[in-house]
Amino acid sequence: MIDIAVFPVGGMGTRFLPATKAVPKEMLPVVDRPLLQYAVDEALEAGIRQMVFVTARGKASLEDYFDVAGELTAMLKARGKEAELAVLSQTQLPPGDIAYVRQQEPAGLGHAVWCARHIVGNRPFAVILPDDLVQGKPGCLKQMVDAYARVGGNLIAAERVPHERTGSYGIITPGATAGNLTEVAGLVEKPKPADAPSNLAVIGRYILQPEVMAILSEGKRGAGNEIQLTDAMAQLIGKQPFHGLAFEGVRHDCGDKAGHVIANIAYALERADVGPAVRAWLTANLPK
């Protein structure tokens, strides 16, 4: 059973400056909900009940978002704004279900995950990167939890990317494939296209066994002189079951400006309240 998820949310978001000078990138909205809300909702759908946010300086608004907004709630109640109160309630989890730990230095994804080691303890756990917004039902993590119930071990979400883009991802050396599951025979972080063992990339969803924390504790640096989660996971191959799941859904890279804009359009088109207006504008203004 997977009941805890780690959200590494300490990044500076420099690609979205100047907005991220004041707003954490995880709080940038897609339509009217911040990226982090989508990630938390995906975790809840998958049965996760404890959320661990690995934050950094300048992320206070992220913590405030999931707090009880007393004055706002009182005002909405006084004005009979039931619909707005219902929306607001979705941002509030039961007391104790969210924990915050601080990553004091930007030392890589592996380091961020390691910062949560005392809360994770000896449990298998999920890792969710809010930048990777996966659109589809059921959610990506729910698909992974269902697959984990069958195969156990370590499980990562996988997606085929253009060969020229392998240098931006952790890349899987594939083993045997059965349905939407591929055995992971090896992992390499950000290989040059000529050196990549495949174009099957790891995207921001993981289910990992707690033994990965001991490996991360060694503090070994990899690509970019950072502590890479991919490198630590690679040491578990052959010792524990390890699979990549070809998930159903569309991934939007919301760490990229174009990807974030596309995600806003894609999610808006699904909405009954804003979809018709957005579709009409696109129809009228896009070149034929």
Domain ranges in the chain are: 4-285
53, 26 Cβ separation under 8 angstroms: no
Residues 143-157 have pLDDT tens digits of 999 999 999 999 999
- CATH dotted code for 4-285: 3.90.550.10
Q: Cα–Cα distances in Å, from 33 out to 26, 30, 36, 139, 210? A: 10, 6, 8, 16, 32
In angstroms, rounded to a whole number, what is the distance separating the alpha carbons of residues 235 and 83?
50
Tokens 């000529």 found at: 194
Two structure tokens written together for 83: 């619909």
- pLDDT over 90 at 274, yes or no: yes
Report how far residue 286's alpha carbon sits from residue 288's, in angstroms, rounded to the nearest whole number.
Answer: 6
- pLDDT of amino acid 220: 86
The answer, yes or no, to whether residue 94 has pLDDT greater than 90, is no
pTM score, whole prediction: 0.93
Which range of 72-81, 93-102, 273-282 scores highest in mean pLDDT? It is 273-282
Radius of gyration of the chain (CA): 20
Spell out the alpha helix ranges (H) of 90-247. 109-114, 117-120, 140-151, 211-216, 229-234
The region of weakest confidence among 6-10, 14-18, 36-40 is: 14-18
